[in-house]
Structure 1
Amino acid sequence: MIKALAQHLSTTLPFLKEGRLLIAISGGVDSVVLTHALHALKYPIALAHCNFNLRGEESDADEAFVVALAESLGVEVFIQKFDTLGYAQTHKLSTQMAARALRYQWFNALCEQLHYDFVLTAHHADDNLETFLINLSRGTGIEGLSGIPQMNDFVVRPLLPFSRAQIETYAQENKLSWREDSSNASTKYLRNQLRHEVIPQLKGLNATFLQNFQKTQTYLQESESIIQDRVDEVFNQVVDKISEDVIFFNIEKIQALSRPKAYLYHMLSPYGFTEWNDVVNLLTAQSGKQVLSKNYTLLKDRDCIMLSKNKANSVTSIIQIKEAQHSVETPLGRLLFEDVKNMGPSASNTIYIDKDLLKYPLSVRLWQKGDYFYPFGMQGKKKVSKYLKDEKLSLLEKERIFVLCSNNNIVWVVNRRTDDRYKVTQQTKQVLKIQLQYV
């Protein structure tokens, strides 16, 4: 196996040889074999072990084993203890999902702080088969059947082409020691049920079942690549524009596709959407209808569907600006204030006003129903709601309009229109330049 692994690494993952590598090691046979093999091949490795405190003395014994292994190989080891059950309860996660979240948060922190390039995990071909069956049983698209990726961001899985049997044979031939996780024998979890009850029967039906599965998965991955090429092509056809952080999908063009639901699935699933009937229903819904994922919002607005990232919290607070301040952070970007002698070129994000007309502190807030201002260049006042309607802003764009105020009077519909009452005239003695610097 060591020769096959060396060949796989040199042809498929050659960049690992020059990187600083952190091996995620549990103490089980898979991660122990990965550690020994890469050490034998003289790769620059260190070990990272998570003690999730889920199995009492057994968890502590796993930790001690990993520390002893690192010492015997002369490699650095990092240990982190977690209150996994407490984290799961606080974040309303299953124990398994909590452990996964904690594990990868820590790995990411180690890489950032200590400048490791990659985290290596010991997932192998049998893990891939189990994941395939789990996804199949729950219902999934082609990406769920394509298996565990060999590389995902900073995480690399060098043992994916190798079976559990090959790994165990390597361990036995090299007289390696490892730890057995007692929870792996339990059929409480679906993965263990598949591992101990279903997969052995499948392998019993065909001696080359695992190899045939790997071939099939390769075909699926290639098919997924072809599908993605087509989805990218359609994406460019149905997107009318991308404005800042909003994507505008043309409804008419989507409806003209042969399989609108399938295309929407492939275009929008990366954004966390799962309620596909609700998503498809947006095509014929009234304006204002929304569908939410964890981090994104889909909004129906007339002839388009708008995709935008959710704000962490609704902006309800008012930002105060003192006269001495030269800059202030807002949800739209940084507002810069500069005293100047003369007016320069104006733009949507740059205005010049008569400073002596201002009353401090100024404030920045979302526009509200009932707000009005005197649009620059016009006579008389106008409701902000009417102004935004006349500007043909979408519902989503309207929700993100802020106003700069002086003593409750609007000075600027930020990034849109100034108020005529604060314009620079021949009588102006102090000119204030205000500029929105985008984040």
Structure 2
Amino acid sequence: MFPCTGMVHIQNLHLWSEFMKAPETVKKFHLLKTGDTVVVAFSGGADSSALLHWLCKERDVHKLTVYAAHIHHGLRGKEADRDEAFVRRCCEKWKVSLFVLHVDVRVEAARTGESEETCGRRLRYAFLEQKAGELHAKIATAHTLSDSIETVLFHLTRGTGLAGLRGIPASRGKIIRPLIETTRAEVEEYCARNTLSFVTDSTNFSHTYARNRIRLDVIPVLRGINPSLERTFSRNMRLFASDEAFLREETERLLKRAYIKRNRPWEQSGFSVSILRGSSLQGRALTLAAARATGFTPEATHVEAMKSLLEKGSGQISLHGKWLAEVEGNRLYFYIPPISLEIQNFSAPFVPGKTKIGPIFLQTSVVEMENINKMKTFSTHYFKNILDCDKINGKVVVRTRKPGDYYHPACHGVGKSLKKLFNEAAIPLTLRAYVPVIVDDLGIIWVGGFGPDMRCAQSASTQKAYFCKTVWNDGEDKGVK
């Protein structure tokens, strides 16, 4: 926060109090404090010129260190060169250190497949973040209330929930927006009263861009219906933001209650289907859970598909990229299918020691008769871990499962296919490809998590055995459960 004496100074800035809301916005949202370093995104337009001008007036009073950053996008030829020259003159006049980045947005967009607008924004913020990181600074952008209203209308047109009706926030991370409660008209009035010149981007008047059409065509019509359009939208956006914050907190509580942690090596952490299915916040919870797991906000069609999965109680859908959402048992989880030809065709000689199969290690050691009984005292899963050496026939290998695999687990007493065993144990598809399977010339003799086949199980006559266990690659010995 600025010191208390800052209020006197703000009141003396009658031009600001009359025509712009920046001092009040800074105080309300705690955007700046004495001694801060700020990098201003300076295009040379009216908004950023007014913002940089004010910060320069404030820097001595509040010991601010002010820098400017300008990006030449390589899209507007001589006009862009003119803007850069103007920015350089302003910074020299106001004694502001300036950083300039030259990029060819058209070439970069063609390379990445982005739109030029999206690409330019990405490069612009990457440059600002880089400089702010080097200087341990905040980033000040000149977004106004008018920009925020245009954003809300754009979101409404494209489709949105409450989150899209909040407008542009006053801050996000290290980014601050002191003009976010000030209209574009108020900014221009401030420039006129302070005899500030500025440049105008000719593309702002092009109807090619959707946001321009909203600003040039839609806003004037709405203002004709409601002359107090900006203040009405400002009030509504505050209400939407408050409601969204409450619903976000409730969604966080729901996800926390629904969370299921991984208790066994083959399990995935996930969320309880039964808890999510009965909640009115289901859509929000699915959106938030998927975004956190994958790093991408799911589209509305994905959210509806996940709802259908919860209702069905099983199945999977594709999300962004290679990510899948799957429901199995009472668990919803997100993953990238890990199965590769290398894993599908994995096969290695069975020898004492450690064998790695993806995220799972199979550890085996030879145990003599005198130590077999001792195993019972320290292995809680003793029976599943022991494989009688003398009952093994011929060549022994470790491999991954194959279609049609079938064996008689000693702990079950009846023969079953691995597919059925895995389904009954709710082992996720994402990990089934990694479960170690030990076979000899007669067939399967041991399966990770299920123990030995009946014909190779330990008995009273066992003289020598293999002790087998699976270890998850996070270093935690899970044993075999």
The question of a shared fold, defined as TM-score above 0.5 by the shorter chain, is answered with yes
Matched-pair contact (CA < 8 Å) for 1:403–1:411:
no
Q: Which runs of 5+ in 2 are unaligned?
A: 1-14, 292-297, 349-353, 366-374, 387-396, 457-461, 477-481
Matched-pair contact (CA < 8 Å) for 2:138–2:174:
yes
* 2:100 alignment partner, one of 54, 72, 79: 79
Distance apart, 1:46 and its partner CA: 1.7
Label 1:58 to 1:250 Cα distance change in 2 as closer, same or farther (>3 A): same
- 3-state SS of paired residue (2:178): coil
Aligned residues: 417
* 2:278 alignment partner, one of 224, 246, 256: 256
Inter-partner Cα distance in structure 1 for 2:71 and 2:22: 26
Inter-partner Cα distance in structure 2 for 1:10 and 1:289: 49
- 3-state SS of paired residue (2:39): strand
Q: What residue in structure 2 maps to residue 266 of structure 1?
A: 284
1:229 aligns with 2:249: yes
Output the TM-score relative to the length of structure 2: 0.69
Inter-partner Cα distance in structure 2 for 1:69 and 1:412: 77
Which deviates the most, 75-84 or 188-197? 75-84
* 2:130 alignment partner, one of 109, 112, 134: 109
Aligned-partner residue type, residue 241 of structure 1: I
Q: What residue in structure 2 maps to residue 398 of structure 1?
A: 431
- 3-state SS of paired residue (2:121): helix
Label 1:135 to 1:372 Cα distance change in 2 as closer, same or farther (>3 A): same
* 1:119 alignment partner, one of 139, 147, 151: 139
Distance apart, 1:128 and its partner CA: 0.7
| Matched ranges for 1:36-435 at <5 A | 36-42=53-59, 43-112=64-133, 114-237=134-257, 239-243=258-262, 246-251=269-274, 253-257=275-279, 259=280, 263-270=281-288, 271=291, 272-275=298-301, 276-285=303-312, 287-294=314-321, 296-302=323-329, 304-310=330-336, 315-317=340-342, 332=359, 369=403, 385=419, 388-389=422-423, 391-393=425-427, 395-399=428-432, 401=434, 403=436
Distance apart, 1:82 and its partner CA: 2.1
Q: Which runs of 5+ in 1 are unaligned?
A: 322-326, 354-362
Inter-partner Cα distance in structure 1 for 2:256 and 2:36: 36
Aligned-partner residue type, residue 69 of structure 1: C
Inter-partner Cα distance in structure 1 for 2:105 and 2:121: 10
**Over alpha carbons, which structure has the higher Rg?**
2
- 3-state SS of paired residue (1:437): coil
Listed one character per residue, the Cα deviations across residues 154-176 of structure 1 (whole Å, up to 9, x for unaligned) are 32222111111111111122222
Aligned-partner residue type, residue 473 of structure 2: L
Distance apart, 1:282 and its partner CA: 1.4
Aligned-partner residue type, residue 99 of structure 2: F
Distance apart, 1:278 and its partner CA: 2.0
Q: What residue in structure 1 maps to residue 9 of structure 2?
A: none
Listed one character per residue, the Cα deviations across residues 180-206 of structure 1 (whole Å, up to 9, x for unaligned) are 100001122121112112212322333
Identity of aligned residues (%): 26
Matched-pair contact (CA < 8 Å) for 1:17–1:44:
no
Aligned-partner residue type, residue 40 of structure 1: K
Label 1:399 to 1:166 Cα distance change in 2 as closer, same or farther (>3 A): farther
Inter-partner Cα distance in structure 2 for 1:109 and 1:367: 49
Distance apart, 1:115 and its partner CA: 4.5
Label 1:411 to 1:293 Cα distance change in 2 as closer, same or farther (>3 A): farther
Matched-pair contact (CA < 8 Å) for 1:336–1:436:
no
Distance apart, 1:144 and its partner CA: 1.0
Inter-partner Cα distance in structure 2 for 1:247 and 1:224: 25
Inter-partner Cα distance in structure 1 for 2:76 and 2:44: 14
Label 1:371 to 1:225 Cα distance change in 2 as closer, same or farther (>3 A): same
| Matched ranges for 1:6-45 at <5 A | 6-42=23-59, 43-45=64-66
Label 1:29 to 1:14 Cα distance change in 2 as closer, same or farther (>3 A): closer
